[in-house]
Amino acid sequence: MNYTKLCLLVTGSLTFLFVTPAQAVNFVNTLSIPGETPDLYPIGNGAGGANINRLGMFSDLYYDRAQNVYYGLSDRGPGGGVIPYQTRVEKFTLDVNPNTGALSNFNIEQTILFTQNGQSFNGLNPQLLNGNPNTLGLSFDPEGFVVSRNGNFYVSDEYGPSVYEFNPNGSFIRALTIPGNILPRQADGTPNYMSAVTGRQDNRGFEGLAISPDGSKLYGMLQDPLVNEGNPEGRYSRNLRLVEFDTQTGESTRQFIYQLESIADINAGFSNHKNDDFKANAQGRNIGISAIAALNDAEFLVLERDNRGFGVEAPTLPSNPPVGTKKVYKISLADATDVSKVNLTGINDLPLGVNPVSKSLFLDIASSLKGAGPIIPEKLEGLTIGPQLANGDYAVIVGSDNDFSVTQNSSNVQFNVCTNGTTADSKVALSSPCPTGLNLIPGYLLSFKVTQSELGNFVPPEAVPEPLSIFGIGTALSFGTFFKRKLSQKAEQ
């Protein structure tokens, strides 16, 4: 791809790449969504332009196959937690070609704010929002999103880390109970959501969230190892935690270990090893997971990536240093050890008899995209199993987070990042448009066509509530919605 084509991508055009049909997972196309795209919340610019209602793109993706709609989760907002932002999720429609799996016609239907008692959850970090790093309050950095059988939302965040349940209008219902070993604490045991010596690393909380097909279990996945679980600390470890929750009780039931790709293996792929390799303390920090999607009760797809690629820190192409890994793995809990009572403080190797989740490569995204040209987005963070296609295959969709196309200087002053792929300007005021010829960094949706055999035993979520619900018991469901869901399910079978 030459840079003329690259500029077209940045402004929102559609490009296709088809590969050998004999492969089990085929890259189909990229849909580019301009960074200037507004959502439907009528706020405009706030102080310093901070609250501009542009899309934050896809910190997570969820496909509601009963309604044939999608949800795109924005995270804590432009500014990385240092300027106010009312956190939200975007409900949108998307055309998926039933024969090819190609994506087109992104359209936002609803912008839903997360609120509690009339107050919005805010992307400000706890220190700035509450004046106290020990108080979480309404600080919220949403990163994982699923829809339950009754239509309620479950959203995981990095600040707590937390898992909250909201109704379909975004109103808070309850918080699930987080295991004590996951919570960030000071040396004296006091919670500290900004700087901890035990529990989740800062900005490395529940990055992924999945729901079991019957809706009885949630799976929250930390982005990286706990700060204390590694030698000399978590940045040097491969062992991050996957936490299972019971949705009825709200309590955690089990924990498992997921092992990240080894930086030794990643570094071996660089042609210029000396200049491009990841250092030892990047293992549990620069390499991490971004999303998890359930295949059935025991198997999942997990999106794992490094922190390199086209984004606010590398707004021109080709990006430097080069991308090391962007991959989707299939994992199984079948033979994994429950590590709820296992402490990995100070070690990088698992104790004898402790088995991590099994893991096999499902999709090498970076390799697939290299065939399309130089654009490999840095933050591939959303993953969902989309609709079933006419021949029985499925569309697996991956989304990128563009960080609202905002960066900051050493004084936490925020600026727009504007680019055409070859030229970039990272000092544009938030309230100002990009210079002529430059645009905000877009978000991307990537489609992959996957055979049924490659997905294996995929069990779509049971999205229809219990029959009594349509008569007003539990969450109300209109007859029209009920039959619409049933027809959608029938069409997919």
Q: Which residues pair with 297 in a beta bridge?
A: none
Separation in Å, CA 21 to CA 25, 30, 81, 346, 368: 9, 18, 44, 47, 14
Q: How far apart are CA 466 and CA 480, in angstroms?
A: 16
Predicted pLDDT at 20 = 38
Task: Give yes or no for a contact between 328 and 383, defined as CB atoms under 8 angstroms apart.
Answer: yes
Q: Which residues contact 34 (CB under 8 A, 6 or more apart)?
A: 10, 11, 12, 439, 440, 442
Q: Which residues pair with 245 in a beta bridge?
A: 218, 252
Q: How far apart are CA 110 and CA 181, in angstroms?
A: 37
Q: What are phi and psi of 382, to 5 degrees?
A: -105, 140
Predicted pLDDT at 23 = 55
Placement of tokens 């996951």 in the chain:
182
Predicted pLDDT at 43 = 59
Predicted pLDDT at 53 = 83
433 upstream amide cis, omega within 30 of 0: no
**Angle in degrees, CA 164, 219, 116, rounded to 5:** 5
- DSSP for 386-408 reads EEE-TTS-EEEEEEE--GGGEEE
Number of Cβ within 10 Å of residue 13's Cβ equals 13
SS3 159: coil
435 upstream amide cis, omega within 30 of 0: no
Q: For the chain, which residues make up each domain, given as ranges?
A: 3-462, 466-493
- Residue 307 corresponds to which tokens in the numbers above? 């922190």
Q: What secondary structure letter does DSSP report for 468?
A: G
**H or E segment at 479?**
helix 479-492
What kind of fold does domain 3-462 have according to CATH?
Methylamine Dehydrogenase; Chain H (2.130.10)
Separation in Å, CA 315 to CA 140, 372, 439: 27, 18, 11
Predicted pLDDT at 462 = 72
Number of Cβ within 10 Å of residue 340's Cβ equals 15
Predicted pLDDT at 215 = 96
pLDDT of the chain, 493 residues: tens digit per residue? 333 333 334 434 444 433 333 357 899 999 999 999 999 987 554 444 555 688 888 999 999 999 999 999 999 998 889 989 999 999 999 999 999 999 999 999 999 999 999 999 999 999 999 999 999 999 999 999 999 999 999 999 999 999 999 999 999 999 999 999 999 999 999 999 999 999 999 999 999 999 999 999 999 999 999 999 999 999 999 999 999 999 999 999 999 999 999 999 999 998 776 789 999 999 999 999 999 999 999 999 999 999 999 999 999 988 788 999 999 999 999 999 999 999 999 999 999 999 999 999 999 999 999 877 779 999 999 999 999 999 999 999 999 999 999 999 888 889 999 999 999 999 999 889 999 999 999 999 999 999 999 999 999 987 544 444 333 333 333 344 444 444 444 444 4
